[in-house]
Amino acid sequence: MMNRQRRNLHFLTLVSHLLTLSSPVAGGQIRLTGSSRCFGRVELHYNNTWGTVCDDEWDLNDAEVVCRELDCGSALNATESALFGEGTGPIWLNGMRCSGKESSLTECWHSGSGSHNCTHSKDAGVICSGEKRFG
């Protein structure tokens, strides 16, 4: 029984790794569009195109990862319904489910890449506490 569980775990790990490699987030750039670099609409650069993230399942854990990745302190709010305006281009990600401990959005689970029922009226955003200060 233990060998079967190990094989299943290995298989699931492999599938997860392969799905991550095909994700628009993997290796992509991330930015916030707003009047400050630490708050705005979340955008991802993939396949030479900037796109957005749908607010389905979007929460403070997801925002925390974005703020950390951009060295913008901690997340104060995970915004929904295109609070920072509607983006253009593709909606790259939907159904984000970060634990909040990841160092990058690339480590978070999501329900699909470019396949969704979202419109830009549901673009996700974040409000971070500000630039991380060292020293």
pLDDT higher than threshold 50 for residue 20 = no
10 φψ region: left (φ > 0), alpha (ψ -120 to 50), beta (else) = alpha
Domains of the chain in start order, with CATH, are 2-128 (3.10.250.10)
Is the model more confident about 28 or about 95? 95
- For the chain, the average pLDDT equals 80
Determine whether 47 is exposed, middle or buried from the number of CB atoms within 10 Å of its CB (0-12, 13-18, 19+): exposed
Residue 129 has pLDDT above 60, yes or no: yes
Give the closest residue to 66 by CA, choosing from 21, 112, 35, 33. Answer: 33
Confidence of residue 19 (pLDDT cuts 50, 70, 90): very low
Of the given ranges (41-45, 119-123, 127-131), which has the lowest mean pLDDT? Answer: 127-131
Mean pLDDT of 22-34: 69
Q: What is the dihedral of CA 28, 73, 42, 49, to 10 degrees?
A: -30
Q: Which residues of 11-38 are buried (b: 16+ CB within 10 A; e: fewer)?
A: eeeeeeeeeeeebbbeebebebbbeeeb
Is residue 67 within 8 A of residue 128, CB to CB? The reply is yes
Read off the pLDDT of residues 36-72 as tens digits, 9 standing for 90 and up.
Answer: 889 999 998 888 899 999 998 899 999 999 999 999 9
